[in-house]
Structure 1
């Protein structure tokens, strides 16, 4: 609290001449603790904090004089799981400072590790055949993991004759689509070659265009 006759900086919050009302604030002129924190710990810094509580798909972290927040999307480079499966209330962890989010210091865990997508994109391309391990199975398909840590989706419609796959199985698949830093789509079906289509057209009298339409319908 300021002492009597002490000079202080204040901010005018409300001024009403008719009511002879003037509301001032000393607090509003003081440095914001989260802004001071980010000055001492700029983006990219590594800091330690204690997980305090969960808030929907995020966790609130105690950083001392300020609070930090980490969202599910910043937990790992792979498919983000539940925050509760990665962090535990009361545990101390090291985090990367990502910036400010309101009064919170935005934090991340995956930023402490190398982005596996960078390694993946250097090594693989659409059309490559690989043998991968199944890490999870769902009604819509299965997720298979590459050695670099990136997961690819094998949709149910692309499973072909291996509908009974289970976690732990190794499956030979072909990469049919890559969306960088987002998703990889796989197929276990046999690849249809252009020469096979032409050959079929020559024997049956169908044109190449008619055969393609026929195969799409099938």
Structure 2
């Protein structure tokens, strides 16, 4: 085609016209295309190939690719075209629909820049560092080239502004998982969990995306002063669900309920006739309760405390005192132990007490007092 005819055909195009062209040559900083239904060639500068910064035109297109383009400039013998503008127009329409519908978009992270990540969705999308994950990330270099899911959190076509969040997707999924778990939980279930946090009043256990509280009273069958005496952060534990408050998303758990009770196998551990060192825990009018194992108390009836007659157990025992006891009877089903202190005491030693003589007998021999009483009886 002569140069004059070429110029005539060029002038038949206007800025903003949409054209289709096939890539005939890929150079480092530009691309040459053959325009459909025309003998003309068009040129796409590298800056008009993508919404993102690219180093080589071959990173975006290859020879033979068919592209939809927009006329940027009409020069004397050539058209300057843009792929980026056509892609952006299509992209904004799609992105607005996805934004309105709250759709999740999956795409590749094209670049890591100061303050966040960059993606290409037909237009440049930015993911601020605070919206990448639900936790702090120090180094984002490993994210380049990764495919991630995003939600659009801000869209402004006029300002060419597109802000995305991966964190929103993660938190939404976590919320759904949490709700599903709440719906599936029932009192009495036994499940595995991991201790997440420990407080003065108990431990929070992660049971699969949601935390439940094990109150300090539910950590062990034994008395617990500090939760850290029983559990540690990161520890794997088995818990029983005590209660589920779905409205307030609160779950009450128990570790104690999953452990063998202190009375388990007590018939084998404390058979009739066995002897233990115990601690007097409580004293009542009819006897004393002595702890022989953590959480296992047996009753020493008042008649089994001493060989001599005592009016109250306090005459002989005090709370916290260590005593030796013998098992008289054991009933595992009713969780009862009958114990004896008396059985382990020597009778003659117990009865060797120094009784004080009556006031009127002072100054006399005991035999004389008894003799005088016998005389009175014979009268």
Give the alignment's TM-score, normalised by structure 1: 0.49
| Bigger RCO (CA 8 Å, 6+ sep) | 1
Give the alignment's TM-score, normalised by structure 2: 0.31
